[in-house]
Chains A and B, each alone.
Chain A
Amino acid sequence: MHALSIRNLKKVYGNGIQALKGIDLDVAEGDFFALLGPNGAGKTTVIGIITSLVNKTSGEVRVFGHSIDTELNAVKACIGVVPQELNLNTFDRLMNIVVNQAGFYGMPVRRARRRAQEVLEQMQLWDRRDDIARNLSGGMKRRLMIARALVHSPRLLILDEPTAGVDIEIRRSMYGYLRELNESGTTIILTTHYLEEAENLCRHVAIIDEGEVIQHHPMDEFLRTLKQQNYIVNTREPVAEVPVIDGCLIYQRKDYELELAVQRDHDLNDVFAALSEAGVRILSLRNKTNRLEELFFNLTDRSDQVPEEKTEMEE
């Protein structure tokens, strides 16, 4: 059985924006699934429809076989969701927030308190249980939302950019925890803009762009379709004029730094030879790690916007 099965899902918002243009998506039970796509692609809209916060225009959504049209309560009981935007009652105490959420799922208060302790400890927030949510840092608020989503032990956990604003150390421990959760049988769907996050955690991936699924693959297969490899090089002298080389796109990142996007079927030797010829002396070379990101720009074909956007994302 699929944890999530979406057929021809469409959404037109009240303002006329067509956010989803007929999406098909299957997520197997037990999977760790990445939903990727640029800003405005429609990821949050999909999640909103699954969690009944957004009304669909047409199409079909099933969660563990239950249709959101006819068995909405069964669907809701299966899902825990961490939204992209903060939706905390910032004046309430952490413990109350989590215990009340359990109560809204129908859990008796004593069990809810025990469960709240477990999830708050897992998210390293137990010390802060009597604090009001407003006093938490941004990353802590996000962890609180994760704790809240887990309190009823959902079979399907949906995380809409859960690590935005979370520091590296906590992020790592969060990854460890999510992996454990997945290994113990929870299906996880995640959206993120940290692409190595998806690469590290997820076994399947779908890319959405402008309301359509443009890729839907196992992660490794997906990485193999990578058409180009990106490198960052540091130069001895500032580069006055970026050379034009066949089979390799070059962006200037800083005075002394270039980014090379080399097509897979091109030899690096040729690229270096051409650079030498143009008078560029290379001091050091490193791989750019965000491989999915490159792929992403290829797939969504926004090559005209690449240079500016990339520098911004990096710095």
Chain B
Amino acid sequence: MRIRAQLITLETLIRKEISRVTRIWVQTIVPPVITMSLYFLVFGNVIGRRIGQMEGFDYMQYIAPGLIMMSVIQNAYGNVVSSFFGAKFQKHLEEMLVAPMPTWSIILGHVAGGVFRGLMVGSVVTVIALFFTGIQIHNIWITVSIVILTAVVFSMAGLINAIFARKFDDISIIPAFVLAPLTYLGGVFYSITLLPEFAQKLSLMNPILYMVNAFRYGMLGVSDIAVGRAYAIILIFILVLFGACTVLINKGIGIRE
């Protein structure tokens, strides 16, 4: 297949994925926005006032980047996992498998859908955050690049989850048992400097900590970790996950008998 035709396959899948997100926006955009508004209300507004400052910012201001990042992560992941698993379950994934569509196109098309939904929800959550607190941008480039790269990582992770999933349970287990704990313990709500040393060390093994802190650095200019290290970790994750997706799809794991 010539490169132009290959790009058409990608363009087609991107169009399909984005229209899926917008078509079912009541399922894809609204629920996370409601959840996040509640976080702002409860943690930021009600409890946050008692907490006072963190790293020199109002608690609300401090957690806003964390909550935006959390919604991006969950929604990028959730979008790809349900779109790909749904396609597997309804078997219309076969539309792609019988066509001479390159594997990278299948991966990137789904990732594009995940990134799109992650950014959509992230943007709406940002707007909502504005109702509760002032948002500032310390460095727009870091902010934007980190949020996109993070969405890419979790879109690919969602894809791998969906590739292995055989039943609906399998697409909720990883988010509940792995993703949620890592996110909640990943510096969304607090600075790890508040933790005892052992817990700090442990936290540093959590990749989400780096992403959340790099993003917070982009907005507020404060971070528990070095931002350069965050980029390195994210890029390594992207390469490894992309490689894994390619191998799994080429081998037909979970998608071919």
Contact = CB atoms under 8 A, between A and B. Distances in A.
A52 B256 contact: yes
Interface in B80-106: 87, 90-92, 94-101
Given A53-B257, A90-B90, A103 B8 contact: yes
Nearest to B94: A87
Contacts of A97: 95
Q: Which of A53, A87, A90, A106 has the most CB of B within 10 A?
A: A106
Contacts of A77: 1, 100
Interface residues of A, dominant DSSP: loop
Interface residues on A, range: 35 or more
A77 B1 CA distance: 9
Interface in B5-64: 5-6, 8-9, 11-13, 15-16, 19, 23-24
Nearest to B4: A106
B175 to A, nearest CB: 22
B98 A89 contact: no
B221 interface: no
Contacts of A88: 90, 92
A53 B98 contact: yes
A123 interface: no
Interface string A32-48: 00000000000000001
Interface string B214-257: 00000000000000000000000000000000000000100011
Contact of B12 (A48, A103, A152): A103
A107 B23 CA distance: 24
A106 B8 contact: yes
Nearest to A83: B94
A101 to B, nearest CB: 5
Nearest to B101: A104
Interface string A67-104: 00000111011010101011111110000110011011
Nearest to A88: B92
Interface residues of B, number: 30
B95 to A, nearest CB: 5
A254 to B, nearest CB: 40
A96 B16 contact: yes
Contacts of A52: 97-98, 256
A52 B256 CA distance: 8
Interface of A: 13-14, 48, 51-55, 72-74, 76-77, 79, 81, 83, 85-91, 96-97, 100-101, 103-109, 148, 152
Given A104-B99, A107-B5, 18 more contacts: A48-B257, A53-B98, A53-B257, A54-B256, A54-B257, A72-B100, A76-B98, A77-B1, A77-B100, A91-B24, A100-B12, A103-B8, A104-B101, A105-B5, A105-B100, A106-B4, A106-B99, A108-B8
- Name the 6 nearest CB pairs between A and B, nearest first: A103-B12, A106-B5, A87-B91, A104-B99, A73-B100, A76-B100
23 contacts: A48-B257, A53-B97, A53-B257, A54-B257, A55-B252, A55-B257, A73-B1, A73-B100, A85-B91, A86-B91, A87-B95, A88-B92, A96-B16, A100-B13, A100-B95, A103-B11, A103-B13, A103-B15, A104-B13, A104-B95, A106-B6, A106-B100, A109-B11
